[in-house]
Structure 1
């Protein structure tokens, strides 16, 4: 017997029915020149070998390379039978694609042949984030999971070099990882992690040792130790470094509704705050702009010189899960609505977008229907994925 995944075939509360109707109506827009796929898009990174391409992780159990210029979507890396939550590129010569998966493993593929390679097993819950690093003479993979573990792997052998947890054992599900480009060295990296609690942690990782960084905070009362950066009220979904090459600051996005720039020169105190207004899933920054996006479906562009909102791109009709800068003039957004959209960041593009929005609000511009493809997931899988994404939102 076949089962339906159409939410219209199931009991709906007034609120959920209104949300479904609103999203169906909003899906009619073509803002951001959407590329429409069949599944929810959970993560994206820039292709380090192509300025016009990105890699995405899909709930349809695959990783896909997207050329934003040609709109080619045919390069797909398959193998898992569960949603792929995250993607990274590394290994010798950058020739390996890695995907953190719902099945608790990290999958790998040859970038060129797309053949499945080694599977990295060690997490006891969903793998939420993966990044690659060169430590000493080894290419390494670093993963964070819903099991609150950070694991450092030798990519060539699959050996686990380190398994890290907060020394207080209070760390919750790991949400994101970033390498500090300033404090990392050829023999060891400085890793920053965020989690489902409000604390941002730092880790010093070498081949033979790894430990949590303990800072010393000098105050009038004397010396007090602190082992985390605490500037948010709840879950921190995204951490990135951005800025001048030798003085990159730490940017954060949180479920408290804000994105922040934490100043390296001020020992990670807040330098800039942008109040998006709902859970912020992603943040990127250029010299001129801060860009935030999240649960409210909007991509917001903030003028860093004034701290004020410059423009809101409102093309998505479900939660935005990631942002990728292709250049200082273009940002890419991904969403669980299954679309990938491109937004201009130069002032001419922003001015044009504002004019078009004003005309549309007056009924001048007629929308054309974008028909999303049917999800490949069952109703139970959709619910479980939603629980996975929102397990840190209490």
Structure 2
């Protein structure tokens, strides 16, 4: 017996029917010059070797390298049979592509040949994020999982060097990881982690030792000590540093509907807040603009100098799962709708988009009453008899 996957063949609430109808009507739009892939896109990373390319992680179980200019999507890293949640480039000068997977493993491929390399096994639940680093000249891979664990791996051998977990505060699923560019050194790195609780944690990691940093506001500064950064109300989905290494601030995106800039000089307290309005899944920063995106499908652009909303790009028709800034300042967004879209970041581009939106054809409203429309229908019917 055949089974249908069409949602229209199943019972649905009025709200879900309206959502499905709205997304179907919106799906054909060409905003952001969409590149359409065959499955949901769950993550995106910039290509460190090409200013016009990105890597995306797909629910179909593959990593794909996409050239934004040529729209070439043929470079595929395959093998997994479960969705891939994250992607990173690193190891031996960027010779490998790494991906976290729903099958609890981290997959790797040789970047040039696209052949499968090692599989890193150690998590007991979905791997949510992977990043690459170097400690004392050794390439390491760092992963975070839904099992609340952060694991540090020797990239070359696959050996587990450290397993980190905040047992005291009951850290939940790890959502994202970032390296502090100011305080990380050749001997040890400072890692920032975000999870499905509101707490942001810091970790000190060397080759032979690792520990959680629990003196974020030392008493010597005249402030009460705290063990975590607590500036959001619920899950934090993204953490990233932006700016010169010495002054880089910590930027965050949360399910509480906000993105925030946390000030290094103020011991990671809030400098600016951007109220996106729904779950924020991605954040990117350029010289002039802060860009947020998430569950409401919109890519919102904020003026970094004033904190005010400058423009809203509305091309996606399902949740936006990630955004990255290209070297030239453009933003690439990816979505569960299976598309990549590219957005220009300039006042001229915003004004052009507004004019195009104003010029969109709206359904014409009838100037006749219901009675007149009924009479016309009767007349047309009689003429055809």
The answer for the alignment partner of 1:339 in structure 2 is 339
The answer for the alignment partner of 1:46 in structure 2 is 46
Determine helix, strand or coil for the equivalent of 2:360.
Answer: helix
Q: TM-score, normalised by structure 2?
A: 0.92
Q: CA RMSD in A?
A: 1.7
**Higher alpha-carbon deviation: 211-220 or 199-208:** 211-220
The answer for the alignment partner of 1:175 in structure 2 is 175
Inter-CA distance 216–310: structure 2 relative to 1 (3 Å threshold): closer
Deviations, residues 196-239 of structure 1 (Å, cap 9, x unaligned): 00000000100000100122535799764311100000000000
Cα distance in 2 for residues equivalent to 1:118 and 1:218: 42
TM-superposed CA distance for 1:363, in Å, is: 7.3
Cα distance in 2 for residues equivalent to 1:117 and 1:77: 11
Q: Is the 8 A contact 2:176 2:195 kept in 1?
A: yes
Inter-CA distance 27–79: structure 2 relative to 1 (3 Å threshold): same
Inter-CA distance 248–138: structure 2 relative to 1 (3 Å threshold): same
The answer for the alignment partner of 1:66 in structure 2 is 66
**Higher alpha-carbon deviation: 304-313 or 248-257:** 304-313
Cα distance in 2 for residues equivalent to 1:246 and 1:173: 30
Cα distance in 2 for residues equivalent to 1:221 and 1:66: 48
Cα distance in 2 for residues equivalent to 1:51 and 1:328: 8
- Aligned pairs (5 A) from 1:262-301: 262-301=262-301
Q: Is the 8 A contact 1:197 1:235 kept in 2?
A: yes
Cα distance in 2 for residues equivalent to 1:32 and 1:323: 13
The answer for the alignment partner of 1:197 in structure 2 is 197
Cα distance in 2 for residues equivalent to 1:49 and 1:146: 30
- Aligned pairs (5 A) from 1:279-358: 279-358=279-358
TM-superposed CA distance for 1:150, in Å, is: 0.2
Cα distance in 2 for residues equivalent to 1:65 and 1:313: 24
The answer for the alignment partner of 2:75 in structure 1 is 75
Q: Specify the structure having the higher radius of gyration (Cα).
A: 2
Q: Is the 8 A contact 1:328 1:345 kept in 2?
A: no
Corresponding position: 1:163 with 2:143: no
TM-superposed CA distance for 1:12, in Å, is: 1.2
Cα distance in 2 for residues equivalent to 1:21 and 1:2: 25
TM-superposed CA distance for 1:244, in Å, is: 2.5
Determine helix, strand or coil for the equivalent of 2:66.
Answer: strand
- Aligned pairs (5 A) from 1:117-136: 117-136=117-136
Determine helix, strand or coil for the equivalent of 2:117.
Answer: coil
Corresponding position: 1:29 with 2:29: yes
Cα distance in 1 for residues equivalent to 2:21 and 2:247: 47
TM-superposed CA distance for 1:10, in Å, is: 1.3
The answer for the alignment partner of 1:19 in structure 2 is 19
Deviations, residues 88-125 of structure 1 (Å, cap 9, x unaligned): 11111211000100000000000011111110000000
Cα distance in 2 for residues equivalent to 1:169 and 1:214: 11
**Higher alpha-carbon deviation: 163-172 or 223-232:** 223-232
TM-superposed CA distance for 1:245, in Å, is: 3.4
TM-superposed CA distance for 1:169, in Å, is: 4.8
Q: Is the 8 A contact 2:43 2:87 kept in 1?
A: yes
Cα distance in 2 for residues equivalent to 1:283 and 1:201: 19
Q: State the aligned residue count.
A: 364
The answer for the alignment partner of 2:236 in structure 1 is 236
Q: TM-score, normalised by structure 1?
A: 0.90
In the TM superposition, structure 1's runs of 4+ consecutive aligned residues that sit over 3 Å from their partners are: 218-224, 361-364
Q: Is the 8 A contact 2:217 2:267 kept in 1?
A: no
TM-superposed CA distance for 1:137, in Å, is: 2.2
Q: Is the 8 A contact 2:98 2:107 kept in 1?
A: yes
Q: Is the 8 A contact 1:301 1:311 kept in 2?
A: yes
Determine helix, strand or coil for the equivalent of 2:251.
Answer: strand
TM-superposed CA distance for 1:362, in Å, is: 6.0
Deviations, residues 322-344 of structure 1 (Å, cap 9, x unaligned): 00101353000000000000000
TM-superposed CA distance for 1:283, in Å, is: 0.6
Structure 2 portions without partners, runs of 5+: 365-385
Q: Is the 8 A contact 1:329 1:346 kept in 2?
A: no
Q: Which is bigger in relative contact order (C-alpha 8 A, separation at least 6)? A: 1
Determine helix, strand or coil for the equivalent of 1:94.
Answer: coil
